Amino acid sequence: MSEHSKLFGWGVGGLLDRAQIVTRVSLSEKQAHGMVLVVPAKVSVAKIKKMLPKGVPAWQLADIGKKAGKLIQLSSTNGPVVLLRLGKVEPSSADFGFHSPSDYQLARDLGGQMIGLLNSPIKVAWTICFEDILEESIKGFLVGLEIGQYKYLTARQNSSFNNLGIKLLGVSKACLAAARLLGVSVNVARHLVNTPANELNPMTFAKSVKSLFPKNKAIKIEVWNEQRLKKEKMGLILGVGKAASVAPRLLHIRYRPQGATGNPIAFVGKGITFDSGGLDLKPAAAMRLMKKDMGGAASIAGLAYWAIYSKLKVKLDFYFALAENSVGPEAYRPGDVLSARNGLSVEIHNTDAEGRLALADAMDVAVSQKGSHSPSLLIDVATLTGAARVGLGTSVGALFSTTTDSATSVAKAGQRYGDHVWPMPLYQGYGKTIRSSFADTNHCSSSRFGGAITAALFLKKFVGDTPWVHLDVMGWTEAQGPFRESGGNGQVVQCLAGFLEGLSE
């Protein structure tokens, strides 16, 4: 396992590190050998039978004509066999094409399912054979394997999937490397979200993310402590974190690869390492998963990992707004007025709407950069509102934007990578609900309706003229698709990696 794929010294990847590309299937009579055969659905049953190893019982061969997209378990003289007839996805105009399943997504989800079969208690040497399969599908399948092998406790124990080694037939080195990096990048985000808040606070978050990038000349890393935040007049993030035992931090990673031109794209992640709700205390059930309230920052960390280790030829800045929303004598109150870095005075309506406050100050840092560091585009990611989840569910992120071209590109990248987002309106008519009689603006609406929109309208006050995309995500999943256990899901890491790939092509 690569040293730079560790957080807190624990491994978050490894399965594809040990994968070996081969040019033929070698069966040893001394060792049980498993085969996974992945073929297009259009391949005839007669041809499939010729590809299978010897000794598959006749009664099992009747199963191989079943419809595409099913894992069919067989057996042979040497060991288990799994057949997958992979159908090709036909483009759909439904949902403007933003949500039709892609070849990558279907293969990825099947790859995640495959892990349960590969992790048999029986010692088996596995070879996965891809026959006439699109490279996009091969990449998806391999990413699914890497995502599927991750388990939080296994990662903490620094063990990796029973030391399972696999051989790959029909896979290029470039495809394997790309899949491995993308899968681990998603797992980086997942692992940060899964880490309990008594271990992950603003200080340890910054330290752990810094540790991912040792001795890299293309990056510069800064951490602003409480004193620097005060000097920068960042009253919003300081207010949010005032009652916590560990003060807020702003982590900034500047990536300037050799040969990249133009101005950078800036990413900002909401990193509330635990959200009690503050004095507007959450009920117990709503507080249970609030270690995940740094899911936006976690996804930005995963994206930074992907971009930097893929040596992407695009200038990038990554900002992490890190704070804990706690309760104590110093806690900020409903009705307080805080001063933002950009000079706006902000009345506090509800202390449980803290994420937009921390984000706002960090976004102002990003857009106020000068000269060649001034961003051409700002994208923020945040586990921001329950309203977005009510409207779109947990698997689809809400997308708000001031730039149609970038918003469309992000949505299409989400469709391609099965990491979906949906465009939402920045309806200015709702702006009146965040007016204040005591400050320049209120930070959230008193209305029960349109909460995701009013949150976005508040953030819009901090982007100036910079083109902007705002992603309001869940960051958490129950066991589904390639995710084999409940926890962080690295939402929009794949989507934004696809978006950046499109820019560099």
Q: Is 356 a catalytic residue?
A: yes
End-to-end CA, the chain: 29
Q: Is 416 a catalytic residue?
A: no
Catalytic residue among 356, 412, 416, 461, which? 356
Residues β-bridged to residue 185: none
* Half-sphere exposure of residue 414: CA atoms within 13 angstroms, side-chain side: 26
| C-beta separation of 333 from 351 below 8 A | yes
Q: CA 99, CA 93: separation in Å to the nearest integer?
A: 9
Q: Let me know the angle formed at the C-alpha of 192 by 267 and 179, rounded to the nearest 5 degrees.
A: 75
What percent of the chain is helix, strand and coil (3-state, nearest 5)? 40, 20, 40
Pick from 9, 286, 324: nearest CA to 197: 324
Q: CA 379, CA 106: separation in Å to the nearest integer?
A: 27
| C-beta separation of 468 from 267 below 8 A | no
Both tokens of 459, joined, read: 């953030």
Both tokens of 242, joined, read: 């005032």
Give the DSSP letter of residue 8: T
Calculate the alpha carbon distances from 143 to 92, 282, 423, 435, 475 in Å.
24, 37, 26, 46, 18
Residues β-bridged to residue 14: none
User: Concatenated DSSP letters for 147-159?
Assistant: HHH--HHHHHTT-
Characterize the bridge pairing of strands 10-11 and 20-22: unpaired
Return all residues near 395 (Cβ < 8 A) that are at least 6 apart.
420, 474, 477
User: Concatenated DSSP letters for 310-329?
Assistant: TT-SS-EEEEEEEEEE--ST
Residues β-bridged to residue 270: 321
Pick from 81, 202, 99: nearest CA to 417: 99
Residue 378 belongs to what H/E stretch? strand 377-382
Catalytic residue among 156, 210, 233, 282, which? 282
Both tokens of 209, joined, read: 């993310």
Burial degree of 156 (CB within 10 A; 0-12, 13-18, 19+): middle
Pick from 391, 387, 396, 426: nearest CA to 414: 396
| C-beta separation of 137 from 86 below 8 A | yes
Calculate the alpha carbon distances from 304 to 268, 379, 438, 493 in Å.
11, 13, 40, 9
Q: CA 229, CA 238: separation in Å to the nearest integer?
A: 7
Q: CA 197, CA 325: separation in Å to the nearest integer?
A: 11
Catalytic residues: 282, 356
